[in-house]
Structure 1
Amino acid sequence: MQTDAQTLLLVDDDPDLCAMLAEYLGHEGYKVETVHSGAAALEVLERLTPDLMVLDIMMPGMSGLELLQQLRPRSAVPVLMLTGRGEAIDRILGLEMGADDYLSKPCHPRELLARVKAILRRCDGAQPAAEPEQDGTFPAHRLVSGELMLDPGQREVQFAGQPLQLTSAEFNVLAYLMQHAGRVLSKEELTRWVLHRELSAYDRAIDVHVSRVRQKLAAVMGDDQEMIKTVRGQGYQFVRGMA
Protein backbone atom coordinates (compact mmCIF):
# COMPACT_ATOMS: atom_id res chain seq x y z
CA MET A 1 0.00 0.00 0.00
CA GLN A 2 1.06 3.57 -0.66
CA THR A 3 1.92 5.59 2.45
CA ASP A 4 1.27 8.95 0.76
CA ALA A 5 -1.55 8.44 -1.70
CA GLN A 6 -0.60 9.41 -5.25
CA THR A 7 -3.24 10.59 -7.67
CA LEU A 8 -3.92 8.82 -10.95
CA LEU A 9 -6.12 10.17 -13.74
CA LEU A 10 -7.67 7.36 -15.79
CA VAL A 11 -9.01 8.43 -19.21
CA ASP A 12 -11.00 5.77 -21.05
CA ASP A 13 -14.37 5.79 -22.79
CA ASP A 14 -15.36 2.43 -21.24
CA PRO A 15 -17.09 3.25 -17.91
CA ASP A 16 -17.10 -0.37 -16.75
CA LEU A 17 -13.38 -0.77 -17.35
CA CYS A 18 -12.70 2.54 -15.61
CA ALA A 19 -14.75 1.48 -12.58
CA MET A 20 -12.99 -1.89 -12.33
CA LEU A 21 -9.48 -0.42 -12.67
CA ALA A 22 -10.26 2.47 -10.31
CA GLU A 23 -11.45 0.03 -7.65
CA TYR A 24 -8.37 -2.16 -8.05
CA LEU A 25 -5.92 0.74 -7.97
CA GLY A 26 -7.81 2.32 -5.09
CA HIS A 27 -7.33 -0.84 -3.04
CA GLU A 28 -3.60 -0.47 -3.72
CA GLY A 29 -3.63 2.94 -2.04
CA TYR A 30 -3.92 5.31 -5.01
CA LYS A 31 -6.42 8.12 -5.42
CA VAL A 32 -8.06 7.57 -8.79
CA GLU A 33 -10.10 10.01 -10.85
CA THR A 34 -11.81 8.70 -13.97
CA VAL A 35 -13.12 10.51 -17.04
CA HIS A 36 -14.41 9.14 -20.32
CA SER A 37 -13.31 11.67 -22.93
CA GLY A 38 -10.36 13.85 -23.85
CA ALA A 39 -12.39 17.03 -23.30
CA ALA A 40 -13.32 15.92 -19.78
CA ALA A 41 -9.66 15.10 -19.08
CA LEU A 42 -8.60 18.63 -20.06
CA GLU A 43 -11.18 20.05 -17.64
CA VAL A 44 -9.83 17.91 -14.82
CA LEU A 45 -6.26 18.95 -15.63
CA GLU A 46 -7.24 22.57 -15.13
CA ARG A 47 -7.81 21.89 -11.42
CA LEU A 48 -5.64 18.83 -10.78
CA THR A 49 -2.06 17.80 -11.47
CA PRO A 50 -2.05 14.01 -11.19
CA ASP A 51 1.06 12.01 -10.45
CA LEU A 52 0.33 9.90 -13.53
CA MET A 53 -2.26 9.67 -16.30
CA VAL A 54 -3.47 6.39 -17.82
CA LEU A 55 -4.70 7.28 -21.30
CA ASP A 56 -6.67 5.20 -23.78
CA ILE A 57 -5.60 5.91 -27.36
CA MET A 58 -8.87 4.97 -29.09
CA MET A 59 -11.65 7.27 -27.89
CA PRO A 60 -14.49 8.93 -29.81
CA GLY A 61 -14.20 12.68 -30.35
CA MET A 62 -10.75 13.70 -29.15
CA SER A 63 -8.48 10.67 -29.38
CA GLY A 64 -5.82 9.89 -26.81
CA LEU A 65 -3.12 10.97 -29.27
CA GLU A 66 -4.83 14.33 -29.80
CA LEU A 67 -5.13 14.80 -26.05
CA LEU A 68 -1.46 13.94 -25.57
CA GLN A 69 -0.49 16.39 -28.31
CA GLN A 70 -2.35 19.18 -26.49
CA LEU A 71 -1.02 18.15 -23.09
CA ARG A 72 2.72 17.85 -23.70
CA PRO A 73 3.60 21.50 -24.46
CA ARG A 74 2.25 22.58 -21.07
CA SER A 75 2.63 19.56 -18.78
CA ALA A 76 5.23 16.89 -18.03
CA VAL A 77 2.79 14.59 -16.20
CA PRO A 78 3.84 10.97 -16.84
CA VAL A 79 1.53 9.17 -19.29
CA LEU A 80 0.90 5.45 -19.67
CA MET A 81 -0.98 4.71 -22.88
CA LEU A 82 -3.51 1.92 -23.32
CA THR A 83 -3.50 0.64 -26.89
CA GLY A 84 -5.08 -2.10 -28.99
CA ARG A 85 -2.78 -5.06 -29.59
CA GLY A 86 -2.56 -4.34 -33.31
CA GLU A 87 -1.92 -0.61 -33.02
CA ALA A 88 1.89 -0.57 -33.29
CA ILE A 89 1.93 2.72 -35.17
CA ASP A 90 -0.19 4.37 -32.46
CA ARG A 91 2.22 3.15 -29.78
CA ILE A 92 5.17 4.65 -31.66
CA LEU A 93 3.32 7.92 -32.32
CA GLY A 94 2.35 8.15 -28.66
CA LEU A 95 5.93 7.64 -27.52
CA GLU A 96 7.15 10.22 -30.02
CA MET A 97 4.59 12.68 -28.64
CA GLY A 98 5.95 12.20 -25.13
CA ALA A 99 4.18 9.23 -23.56
CA ASP A 100 6.31 7.33 -21.07
CA ASP A 101 5.21 3.78 -21.82
CA TYR A 102 2.34 1.74 -23.22
CA LEU A 103 0.29 -1.31 -22.35
CA SER A 104 -1.84 -3.33 -24.76
CA LYS A 105 -5.54 -3.87 -24.10
CA PRO A 106 -7.12 -5.94 -22.77
CA CYS A 107 -4.71 -5.70 -19.85
CA HIS A 108 -4.60 -7.45 -16.50
CA PRO A 109 -5.03 -4.99 -13.61
CA ARG A 110 -1.97 -6.43 -11.91
CA GLU A 111 0.20 -5.69 -14.95
CA LEU A 112 -1.24 -2.18 -15.12
CA LEU A 113 -0.35 -1.71 -11.46
CA ALA A 114 3.22 -2.88 -12.13
CA ARG A 115 3.61 -0.40 -14.99
CA VAL A 116 2.16 2.43 -12.89
CA LYS A 117 4.59 1.67 -10.07
CA ALA A 118 7.52 1.48 -12.48
CA ILE A 119 6.77 4.86 -14.05
CA LEU A 120 6.23 6.57 -10.70
CA ARG A 121 9.42 4.98 -9.36
CA ARG A 122 11.56 6.28 -12.19
CA CYS A 123 9.97 9.73 -11.99
CA ASP A 124 11.64 10.28 -8.62
CA GLY A 125 14.80 8.42 -9.60
CA ALA A 126 14.16 5.61 -7.12
CA GLN A 127 15.16 2.06 -7.92
CA PRO A 128 13.51 -1.26 -7.09
CA ALA A 129 14.24 -2.60 -3.61
CA ALA A 130 16.29 -5.45 -5.05
CA GLU A 131 18.29 -4.35 -8.09
CA PRO A 132 19.95 -7.46 -9.61
CA GLU A 133 22.57 -5.55 -11.60
CA GLN A 134 24.91 -3.07 -9.96
CA ASP A 135 25.30 -1.21 -13.26
CA GLY A 136 21.56 -0.57 -13.19
CA THR A 137 21.81 1.61 -10.08
CA PHE A 138 20.52 5.07 -10.89
CA PRO A 139 23.23 7.77 -10.77
CA ALA A 140 23.31 9.59 -7.45
CA HIS A 141 25.57 12.50 -8.39
CA ARG A 142 25.58 15.26 -10.99
CA LEU A 143 26.86 14.17 -14.41
CA VAL A 144 28.71 16.61 -16.66
CA SER A 145 29.97 16.27 -20.24
CA GLY A 146 31.21 19.51 -21.76
CA GLU A 147 28.37 22.00 -21.46
CA LEU A 148 25.79 19.27 -20.80
CA MET A 149 24.82 18.79 -17.15
CA LEU A 150 22.37 16.29 -15.66
CA ASP A 151 21.36 16.60 -12.00
CA PRO A 152 19.62 13.44 -10.69
CA GLY A 153 18.59 15.11 -7.43
CA GLN A 154 16.80 18.02 -9.07
CA ARG A 155 15.70 15.92 -12.07
CA GLU A 156 16.97 18.57 -14.46
CA VAL A 157 19.18 18.76 -17.53
CA GLN A 158 20.93 21.87 -18.78
CA PHE A 159 23.04 22.67 -21.81
CA ALA A 160 25.16 25.80 -21.57
CA GLY A 161 23.03 26.84 -18.59
CA GLN A 162 19.73 26.50 -20.46
CA PRO A 163 17.19 23.90 -19.24
CA LEU A 164 16.32 20.96 -21.47
CA GLN A 165 12.75 19.66 -21.07
CA LEU A 166 12.67 15.85 -20.96
CA THR A 167 9.98 13.38 -19.99
CA SER A 168 10.78 11.04 -17.09
CA ALA A 169 11.72 8.19 -19.44
CA GLU A 170 13.90 10.46 -21.59
CA PHE A 171 15.64 11.83 -18.49
CA ASN A 172 16.48 8.35 -17.25
CA VAL A 173 17.69 7.20 -20.67
CA LEU A 174 20.13 10.12 -20.78
CA ALA A 175 21.17 9.57 -17.15
CA TYR A 176 22.12 5.93 -17.72
CA LEU A 177 23.91 6.68 -20.99
CA MET A 178 25.90 9.52 -19.42
CA GLN A 179 26.72 7.44 -16.36
CA HIS A 180 28.17 4.73 -18.61
CA ALA A 181 29.85 7.11 -21.07
CA GLY A 182 32.00 5.16 -23.53
CA ARG A 183 30.23 1.86 -22.89
CA VAL A 184 27.63 0.41 -25.24
CA LEU A 185 24.36 -0.20 -23.39
CA SER A 186 22.11 -2.80 -24.96
CA LYS A 187 18.42 -2.22 -25.59
CA GLU A 188 17.73 -5.02 -23.13
CA GLU A 189 19.64 -3.21 -20.38
CA LEU A 190 18.06 0.15 -21.08
CA THR A 191 14.56 -1.34 -21.21
CA ARG A 192 15.13 -3.13 -17.90
CA TRP A 193 16.66 -0.11 -16.14
CA VAL A 194 14.49 2.66 -17.59
CA LEU A 195 11.11 0.98 -18.13
CA HIS A 196 11.54 -1.68 -15.41
CA ARG A 197 10.44 -4.48 -17.71
CA GLU A 198 11.98 -6.94 -20.16
CA LEU A 199 12.44 -6.09 -23.82
CA SER A 200 9.91 -7.94 -25.96
CA ALA A 201 9.79 -8.67 -29.68
CA TYR A 202 9.00 -5.63 -31.84
CA ASP A 203 9.24 -3.36 -28.79
CA ARG A 204 10.56 0.02 -29.95
CA ALA A 205 9.90 2.04 -26.81
CA ILE A 206 13.57 2.51 -25.92
CA ASP A 207 14.47 3.33 -29.54
CA VAL A 208 11.85 6.08 -29.56
CA HIS A 209 12.96 7.51 -26.20
CA VAL A 210 16.60 7.60 -27.38
CA SER A 211 15.51 9.26 -30.63
CA ARG A 212 13.58 11.90 -28.69
CA VAL A 213 16.62 12.64 -26.49
CA ARG A 214 18.78 12.98 -29.61
CA GLN A 215 16.30 15.40 -31.19
CA LYS A 216 16.19 17.58 -28.09
CA LEU A 217 19.99 17.60 -27.75
CA ALA A 218 20.38 18.45 -31.44
CA ALA A 219 17.95 21.36 -31.06
CA VAL A 220 20.28 23.06 -28.55
CA MET A 221 23.67 21.71 -29.63
CA GLY A 222 23.40 21.38 -33.39
CA ASP A 223 23.28 18.23 -35.51
CA ASP A 224 27.07 18.08 -35.87
CA GLN A 225 27.59 17.22 -32.19
CA GLU A 226 26.25 13.69 -31.90
CA MET A 227 26.58 12.56 -28.30
CA ILE A 228 24.57 9.34 -28.53
CA LYS A 229 25.83 6.80 -31.03
CA THR A 230 23.94 3.78 -32.36
CA VAL A 231 26.08 0.64 -32.39
CA ARG A 232 24.28 -1.62 -34.84
CA GLY A 233 23.21 -4.92 -33.35
CA GLN A 234 24.43 -3.91 -29.88
CA GLY A 235 22.74 -0.79 -28.52
CA TYR A 236 23.58 2.82 -27.73
CA GLN A 237 26.68 4.63 -26.51
CA PHE A 238 27.26 8.06 -24.99
CA VAL A 239 30.38 8.97 -26.92
CA ARG A 240 31.71 12.06 -25.15
CA GLY A 241 33.63 11.57 -21.92
CA MET A 242 32.54 13.34 -18.75
CA ALA A 243 34.54 16.34 -17.59
Structure 2
Amino acid sequence: MKVEIWSDVACPWCYIGKRRFERALGSFAHRDDVEVHWRSYQLDPTLPDHHDGTELDYLVDRKGMSRSQVSQMFEQVTAIAADEGLDYDFGSVVVANSFAAHELLHLAKAHGVGDGVKEALLSAHFEHGEDIGDREVLVRIGTEAGLAPDEVRRDLETHTWRDAVVGDITAANSLGIRGVPFFVLDDKYGVSGAQPTELFARALDQAWQESHPLVMLQPVTSGVAVGATDAVACGPDGC
Protein backbone atom coordinates (compact mmCIF):
# COMPACT_ATOMS: atom_id res chain seq x y z
CA MET A 1 0.00 0.00 0.00
CA LYS A 2 1.31 3.43 -0.94
CA VAL A 3 1.08 6.51 1.27
CA GLU A 4 2.14 9.88 -0.18
CA ILE A 5 2.71 12.77 2.21
CA TRP A 6 2.89 16.34 0.96
CA SER A 7 4.62 18.57 3.48
CA ASP A 8 7.00 21.48 3.87
CA VAL A 9 10.16 21.48 5.96
CA ALA A 10 9.16 24.91 7.29
CA CYS A 11 5.76 23.69 8.55
CA PRO A 12 5.42 23.02 12.30
CA TRP A 13 2.25 20.97 11.85
CA CYS A 14 4.01 18.78 9.29
CA TYR A 15 6.47 17.58 11.95
CA ILE A 16 3.63 16.95 14.40
CA GLY A 17 1.67 15.14 11.68
CA LYS A 18 4.72 13.02 10.86
CA ARG A 19 4.95 11.85 14.46
CA ARG A 20 1.25 11.05 14.73
CA PHE A 21 1.22 9.15 11.44
CA GLU A 22 4.36 7.22 12.45
CA ARG A 23 2.67 6.15 15.68
CA ALA A 24 -0.36 4.90 13.77
CA LEU A 25 1.82 3.12 11.23
CA GLY A 26 3.88 1.52 13.99
CA SER A 27 0.80 -0.26 15.37
CA PHE A 28 -0.61 -1.13 11.92
CA ALA A 29 -0.66 -4.90 11.35
CA HIS A 30 0.50 -4.55 7.73
CA ARG A 31 3.10 -1.82 8.28
CA ASP A 32 5.81 -3.78 6.47
CA ASP A 33 3.68 -3.62 3.32
CA VAL A 34 3.28 0.17 3.40
CA GLU A 35 5.48 2.38 1.22
CA VAL A 36 5.74 5.98 2.43
CA HIS A 37 6.68 8.62 -0.14
CA TRP A 38 7.51 12.17 0.93
CA ARG A 39 6.29 14.77 -1.56
CA SER A 40 7.38 18.39 -1.71
CA TYR A 41 5.26 21.46 -0.98
CA GLN A 42 6.15 25.08 -0.21
CA LEU A 43 4.03 27.25 2.02
CA ASP A 44 5.89 30.37 0.89
CA PRO A 45 7.95 29.97 -2.30
CA THR A 46 8.62 33.73 -2.37
CA LEU A 47 11.00 33.63 0.59
CA PRO A 48 14.66 34.43 -0.17
CA ASP A 49 17.34 31.88 0.71
CA HIS A 50 18.06 33.96 3.80
CA HIS A 51 15.38 36.12 5.39
CA ASP A 52 16.24 39.04 7.65
CA GLY A 53 14.20 38.85 10.82
CA THR A 54 12.84 36.29 13.24
CA GLU A 55 10.03 33.79 12.77
CA LEU A 56 7.91 36.08 14.92
CA ASP A 57 8.63 39.08 12.68
CA TYR A 58 7.95 37.03 9.56
CA LEU A 59 4.56 35.72 10.69
CA VAL A 60 3.45 39.11 12.00
CA ASP A 61 4.14 40.56 8.55
CA ARG A 62 2.74 37.61 6.59
CA LYS A 63 -0.39 36.88 8.60
CA GLY A 64 -1.20 40.39 9.74
CA MET A 65 -1.48 39.22 13.34
CA SER A 66 -0.26 41.07 16.41
CA ARG A 67 2.99 40.03 18.04
CA SER A 68 1.12 38.84 21.11
CA GLN A 69 -1.19 36.69 18.97
CA VAL A 70 1.73 35.06 17.18
CA SER A 71 3.56 34.51 20.47
CA GLN A 72 0.48 32.82 21.91
CA MET A 73 0.25 30.64 18.80
CA PHE A 74 3.90 29.63 19.27
CA GLU A 75 3.20 28.62 22.86
CA GLN A 76 0.21 26.51 21.87
CA VAL A 77 2.00 24.72 19.02
CA THR A 78 5.08 24.17 21.19
CA ALA A 79 2.94 22.49 23.85
CA ILE A 80 1.24 20.26 21.27
CA ALA A 81 4.62 19.34 19.77
CA ALA A 82 5.93 18.48 23.23
CA ASP A 83 3.10 15.96 23.62
CA GLU A 84 4.53 14.23 20.52
CA GLY A 85 8.07 14.22 21.95
CA LEU A 86 9.25 17.24 19.94
CA ASP A 87 11.17 20.16 21.44
CA TYR A 88 10.23 23.22 19.38
CA ASP A 89 12.19 26.43 19.83
CA PHE A 90 10.49 29.12 17.75
CA GLY A 91 12.82 31.75 19.19
CA SER A 92 15.78 30.20 17.33
CA VAL A 93 14.03 29.30 14.05
CA VAL A 94 15.87 30.67 11.02
CA VAL A 95 13.42 31.82 8.35
CA ALA A 96 14.61 30.54 4.98
CA ASN A 97 13.35 29.29 1.64
CA SER A 98 12.84 25.52 1.78
CA PHE A 99 13.29 24.73 -1.93
CA ALA A 100 16.90 23.53 -1.63
CA ALA A 101 15.90 21.34 1.31
CA HIS A 102 13.27 19.72 -0.91
CA GLU A 103 15.90 19.14 -3.59
CA LEU A 104 18.01 17.36 -0.97
CA LEU A 105 15.00 15.26 -0.01
CA HIS A 106 14.57 14.02 -3.57
CA LEU A 107 18.24 13.08 -3.75
CA ALA A 108 17.89 11.27 -0.42
CA LYS A 109 14.75 9.48 -1.62
CA ALA A 110 16.65 8.24 -4.70
CA HIS A 111 19.20 6.67 -2.34
CA GLY A 112 16.62 5.18 0.03
CA VAL A 113 17.23 7.53 2.95
CA GLY A 114 14.40 10.00 2.38
CA ASP A 115 12.68 9.48 5.73
CA GLY A 116 15.89 9.97 7.71
CA VAL A 117 16.72 13.19 5.88
CA LYS A 118 13.15 14.46 6.29
CA GLU A 119 13.39 13.88 10.03
CA ALA A 120 16.78 15.57 10.23
CA LEU A 121 15.62 18.64 8.31
CA LEU A 122 12.52 19.13 10.44
CA SER A 123 14.51 18.71 13.64
CA ALA A 124 17.23 21.07 12.42
CA HIS A 125 14.69 23.75 11.60
CA PHE A 126 12.31 23.57 14.57
CA GLU A 127 14.44 22.15 17.38
CA HIS A 128 18.00 23.34 16.69
CA GLY A 129 17.67 26.69 14.93
CA GLU A 130 19.66 25.68 11.86
CA ASP A 131 19.38 27.42 8.50
CA ILE A 132 17.75 25.05 6.01
CA GLY A 133 18.61 27.51 3.23
CA ASP A 134 22.34 27.16 3.92
CA ARG A 135 23.96 24.74 1.49
CA GLU A 136 26.61 23.62 3.98
CA VAL A 137 23.93 22.73 6.51
CA LEU A 138 22.20 20.67 3.83
CA VAL A 139 25.45 18.97 2.83
CA ARG A 140 26.09 18.03 6.46
CA ILE A 141 22.57 16.64 6.93
CA GLY A 142 22.85 14.64 3.72
CA THR A 143 26.29 13.33 4.63
CA GLU A 144 25.14 12.25 8.09
CA ALA A 145 22.38 10.25 6.37
CA GLY A 146 24.95 8.41 4.28
CA LEU A 147 24.97 10.50 1.10
CA ALA A 148 28.24 11.42 -0.58
CA PRO A 149 29.03 15.09 0.21
CA ASP A 150 30.33 15.77 -3.30
CA GLU A 151 27.11 14.45 -4.81
CA VAL A 152 24.99 16.57 -2.47
CA ARG A 153 26.96 19.72 -3.37
CA ARG A 154 26.83 18.96 -7.07
CA ASP A 155 23.12 18.27 -7.14
CA LEU A 156 22.31 21.38 -5.11
CA GLU A 157 24.52 23.59 -7.28
CA THR A 158 23.14 22.23 -10.56
CA HIS A 159 19.55 21.91 -9.29
CA THR A 160 19.40 18.31 -10.43
CA TRP A 161 16.14 17.72 -8.58
CA ARG A 162 14.40 21.02 -9.34
CA ASP A 163 11.95 19.43 -11.78
CA ALA A 164 11.07 16.74 -9.24
CA VAL A 165 10.24 19.36 -6.61
CA VAL A 166 8.19 21.40 -9.06
CA GLY A 167 6.44 18.21 -10.17
CA ASP A 168 5.36 17.46 -6.60
CA ILE A 169 4.01 20.98 -6.13
CA THR A 170 2.19 20.79 -9.47
CA ALA A 171 0.67 17.45 -8.47
CA ALA A 172 -0.49 18.96 -5.18
CA ASN A 173 -2.19 21.80 -7.02
CA SER A 174 -3.94 19.36 -9.38
CA LEU A 175 -5.26 17.44 -6.36
CA GLY A 176 -6.57 20.63 -4.82
CA ILE A 177 -4.13 20.54 -1.91
CA ARG A 178 -4.00 23.99 -0.33
CA GLY A 179 -2.41 23.16 3.00
CA VAL A 180 -0.01 20.66 4.52
CA PRO A 181 0.54 18.09 5.81
CA PHE A 182 -1.67 16.20 3.37
CA PHE A 183 -1.75 12.41 3.22
CA VAL A 184 -2.95 10.37 0.23
CA LEU A 185 -3.47 6.64 0.79
CA ASP A 186 -3.45 4.36 -2.24
CA ASP A 187 -4.43 7.24 -4.57
CA LYS A 188 -7.91 7.08 -3.05
CA TYR A 189 -8.15 8.46 0.47
CA GLY A 190 -7.04 11.94 1.50
CA VAL A 191 -6.31 13.07 5.04
CA SER A 192 -5.70 16.77 5.57
CA GLY A 193 -3.73 18.10 8.51
CA ALA A 194 -1.94 16.72 11.54
CA GLN A 195 -4.89 14.59 12.56
CA PRO A 196 -4.97 12.50 15.76
CA THR A 197 -3.14 9.18 15.64
CA GLU A 198 -6.47 7.35 15.94
CA LEU A 199 -7.74 8.86 12.70
CA PHE A 200 -4.58 7.84 10.84
CA ALA A 201 -5.00 4.32 12.21
CA ARG A 202 -8.58 4.14 10.91
CA ALA A 203 -7.51 5.51 7.53
CA LEU A 204 -4.80 2.87 7.20
CA ASP A 205 -7.24 0.10 8.11
CA GLN A 206 -9.86 1.33 5.68
CA ALA A 207 -7.44 1.77 2.80
CA TRP A 208 -6.00 -1.70 3.39
CA GLN A 209 -9.41 -3.34 3.51
CA GLU A 210 -10.46 -1.59 0.30
CA SER A 211 -7.37 -2.81 -1.55
CA HIS A 212 -7.36 -6.28 0.06
CA PRO A 213 -11.00 -7.39 0.26
CA LEU A 214 -11.79 -10.64 2.03
CA VAL A 215 -12.82 -13.38 -0.41
CA MET A 216 -15.18 -16.01 1.06
CA LEU A 217 -14.51 -19.59 -0.05
CA GLN A 218 -17.09 -22.33 -0.12
CA PRO A 219 -15.99 -25.52 1.68
CA VAL A 220 -15.92 -28.65 -0.49
CA THR A 221 -16.91 -32.17 0.61
CA SER A 222 -16.32 -35.14 -1.70
CA GLY A 223 -15.97 -32.85 -4.67
CA VAL A 224 -19.31 -31.11 -4.02
CA ALA A 225 -19.49 -27.57 -2.67
CA VAL A 226 -21.31 -27.35 0.65
CA GLY A 227 -23.95 -24.60 0.75
CA ALA A 228 -24.23 -21.95 3.38
CA THR A 229 -27.07 -23.85 5.05
CA ASP A 230 -24.76 -26.83 5.52
CA ALA A 231 -21.92 -24.85 7.11
CA VAL A 232 -21.33 -25.37 10.82
CA ALA A 233 -20.64 -22.17 12.74
CA CYS A 234 -21.60 -20.34 15.92
CA GLY A 235 -23.20 -16.91 16.02
CA PRO A 236 -24.89 -14.51 18.43
CA ASP A 237 -28.01 -16.69 18.49
CA GLY A 238 -26.16 -19.89 19.30
CA CYS A 239 -24.54 -22.78 17.45
Please confirm whether the aligned pair reaches a TM-score higher than 0.5, indicating the same fold. no
Structure having the larger proportion of residues in helix = 2
Give the number of the structure whose alpha-carbon radius of gyration is greater: 2
Give the TM interval when normalised to the shorter protein: under 0.3
TM-score by length of structure 1 reads 0.24
Higher relative contact order (CA 8 A, sep 6+): 2
The structure in which a higher percent of residues are strand is 1
